[in-house]
Structure 1
Amino acid sequence: MERFAPLLLIALAAGLAFALCLALRPLMMRYALARPNARSSHRTPTPQGGGIAVLAGAFLALGLALALIPMEASARQGLILVMAAAALLALVGAWDDIRPLSPALRLPLQVLCVGIVVFYAAPEVRLLPETLPLWAERGLALIAGVWFVNLVNFMDGIDWITLAGLVPLSGAIALAAGYGIVDPATGLLAAALLGGLIGFAPFNKPVARIFLGDVGALPLGLLGAYLLYRLAGSGALTAALILPLYHVMDSTITLFRRLGRGEKVWQAHRSHFYQQATDNGFEIVEIVAQVALLNLCLIGLATISIALPGLWAQLACLLAALMLTGLLLRRFSRKQARP
């Protein structure tokens, strides 16, 4: 039974998320419509809040797994804390969806949720114990976690783009657990997240019938960050850097460009490379397909980096990942020639 638990968990989470999307969509249509503006990629009012279904489907399935599958108390407690932090962040996102929060309030709440994960859900994780003292490593992990939460939210600007990033990531880490690279509890969380995203996917395909909303994007960023943190803590730091590289590079380069132009970086915009691609003649399905294909290549490079632990192999894999990602960003930033 335990051998097939991840597959059953994926199926259950997907079914629950799908059913919840069906049930909640009329309510979202009434109370949570995202209306298009000059910075939007959609043209018609679309309900947002699909992240509620993703999280609820994933967490209900994971809760059942926690009740039925034996595991160490520390692993069980870690998962409960991660779910609690993600639920709290979902509340912050829901509040922001309904009545936008000021950055001065939103950021401390995000730091609190990421801090729960870094300091309490994964206290045993060390990434560079021989290089950095514990306080410095924890501080960097906190900053990276808050940035990942925000970048997933920033990148959730066209249909399926978040799924193109998080489905390969969660699937890869669920598979890594099957091979003993990460612990089984992390594998269960990855499987539950994968299932929730799959259940939501039919409603978010272009043209989307439901958006994730901040209620979904923020906690999904936290869950993705936690999965990567666990992967890095298993000794696969290079793999953890490679897997999310498209989302990280697109959002980080865009952030620094906007800072350089003196823009208010917390305000909505259309400067991301994937947004430039829509203006440059790419169809949304083309953009998402190319991001997903890149992420599959990144999974391959991450796998090689785990199989070949030597320094030069690690550097070669990371360099190849950076080059592939850079090529796609460059492609998106240029006008698409049409016959």
Structure 2
Amino acid sequence: MVGALAVTVALIVALSPLLRRIALARPTARSSHTVPTPQGGGIAVAAGAVAALAATAAVDPAGAPAGLQAAAVAAGVAVLAVTGFVDDVRPLPPGPRLVLQALAVGVVVAALPGDLRIVPALPEVVESVLLGLGLLWFVNLVNFMDGLDWMTVAQMVPMTAALAGLAALGALPFEGGVVALALLGALLGFAPFNRPVARLFLGDVGSLPLGLVTGWLLVLTAARGHLAAALLLPLYYVADATLTLGRRLLRGERVWEAHRTHFYQRAVANGLAVPQVVGRVALTNLVLAGLAVWTVVRPGAAVATAAATAGGAAVALLLADLGRPRTGRLSSRGSP
């Protein structure tokens, strides 16, 4: 974790001049920021995590991801990182972008263990298709939700920390815990540069691979019999992105176009400062992380039901709070 943090910080400092030249996000009518800001910090986040994993493999080969799964995830991350970087520099049409995302997700799902089952009652083919669609949606929603300074940090830091804790409890393969710690360190290294008002954005080069890797870790958690924990950890992101997409579909809007109608974006538009929004999100995610750990420490239907109810209530309260009208001025800027 410390290694990932250090490498990420060093790379951000080294790459910032280049990113300012070739990957500058200029404000538009749909942007939350008001000054041109470099994006592409995800390059350093991904590289920091990979460097930490490589160092782990050198010190303790048994503790690092290996085999077909690791190769598939690495290939998927590479495809999404290149796709995201190209899109950050020169926006891609939605069709080719979606095809490349589906390719990356398909490779990861195909490499999952043959005996991996989450819902045994479903035919294997049906479950594989549903996993692929779910992971594809998760990759996109992580990208959609990266639209405000510190938003990804507020979601992913509690989630990766919780995943590392779940690995320590045996709810996730040990190697998955190592990956979670590497991501946690990289995100902590990125956080100071993305603090409102951000000097650097994550960009698609970071958000797309981050969605793929964390989604893969959640699948592994669910496959070990901890479906409630796997659903609780990303619950706010899933709820905000899915409800927003559904609302836009009902309105007949072009859902592939940029917009500012997520709950967290509406909260800023209605007068909440960016730190107030991400603070609420981070607090809710800490609650969800605690509930997820509870379902692992005290397994059983009663605890899972209680945790799901409490988690759903916490997210519903957050969405209601973010969505309600307010008066006031925007005091901090967000990312695109």
Shared topology, TM-score over 0.5? yes
Deviation for aligned residue 1:91 = 0.4
Q: Partner residue of 2:325?
A: 335
Retained in 2: the 8 A contact 1:76–1:185? no
Retained in 2: the 8 A contact 1:49–1:214? yes
Retained in 1: the 8 A contact 2:142–2:208? yes
Deviation for aligned residue 1:68 = 2.6
Say whether 1:316 aligns with 2:306: yes
Q: Out of 286, 292, 305, which is 1:302 matched to?
A: 292
Larger deviation: 115-124 or 28-37? 115-124
Say whether 1:79 aligns with 2:79: no
Deviation for aligned residue 1:73 = 9.8
Structure 2 CA distance for aligned equivalents of residues 226 and 58 of structure 1: 15
Structure 2 CA distance for aligned equivalents of residues 103 and 320 of structure 1: 37
Moved over 6 A (4+): none
Structure 2 CA distance for aligned equivalents of residues 221 and 325 of structure 1: 20
Q: Out of 283, 302, 312, which is 1:293 matched to?
A: 283
Q: Out of 91, 94, 115, which is 2:82 matched to?
A: 91
Deviation for aligned residue 1:77 = 3.8
Retained in 2: the 8 A contact 1:59–1:83? no
Deviation for aligned residue 1:163 = 1.0
Cα distance change, pair 63–268 in 1 and its aligned pair in 2 (3 A):
same
Deviations 1:163-197 (A, max 9, x none): 11111111111111122221111011101111111
Q: Partner residue of 2:153?
A: 163
Structure 2 CA distance for aligned equivalents of residues 30 and 80 of structure 1: 33
Cα distance change, pair 94–145 in 1 and its aligned pair in 2 (3 A):
same
Structure 1 CA distance for aligned equivalents of residues 112 and 76 of structure 2: 9
Structure 1 CA distance for aligned equivalents of residues 177 and 201 of structure 2: 26
Instruction: Report 1:143-158 matches (<5 A).
Output: 143-158=133-148
Over aligned residue pairs, what C-alpha RMSD do you find?
Answer: 1.5
Deviation for aligned residue 1:87 = 1.6
Q: Out of 195, 203, 214, which is 2:185 matched to?
A: 195
Say whether 1:24 aligns with 2:19: no
Retained in 1: the 8 A contact 2:63–2:174? no
Letter of the 2:291 counterpart: L
Q: Partner residue of 1:277?
A: 267
Identity among equivalent positions (%) equals: 51
Q: Secondary structure at the match of 1:212?
A: coil
Say whether 1:216 aligns with 2:206: yes
Deviations 1:109-164 (A, max 9, x none): 111111111111544421112x1111111111100100000001000100010111
Q: Secondary structure at the match of 1:71?
A: helix
Retained in 2: the 8 A contact 1:79–1:185? no
Retained in 1: the 8 A contact 2:164–2:177? yes
Retained in 2: the 8 A contact 1:118–1:138? yes
Deviations 1:232-266 (A, max 9, x none): 11111011001101100000000000000000000
Deviation for aligned residue 1:60 = 1.3
Say whether 1:110 aligns with 2:107: no
Larger deviation: 76-85 or 59-68? 76-85
Q: Out of 208, 224, 233, which is 1:234 matched to?
A: 224
Residue segments in structure 2 that go unaligned for 5+ positions in a row: 329-336
Deviations 1:243-298 (A, max 9, x none): 10110000000000000000000000010000000011111011111100000100
Structure 2 CA distance for aligned equivalents of residues 75 and 13 of structure 1: 19
Letter of the 2:55 counterpart: L
Structure 2 CA distance for aligned equivalents of residues 13 and 79 of structure 1: 18
Retained in 2: the 8 A contact 1:82–1:121? no
Deviation for aligned residue 1:66 = 2.0
**What is the TM-score when the length of structure 2 is the normalising length?**
0.94
Structure 1 CA distance for aligned equivalents of residues 19 and 63 of structure 2: 39
Letter of the 1:312 counterpart: A
Larger deviation: 292-301 or 252-261? 292-301
Q: Partner residue of 1:174?
A: 164
Letter of the 1:47 counterpart: P
Deviation for aligned residue 1:337 = 6.0
Residue correspondences, number: 328
Retained in 2: the 8 A contact 1:93–1:215? yes
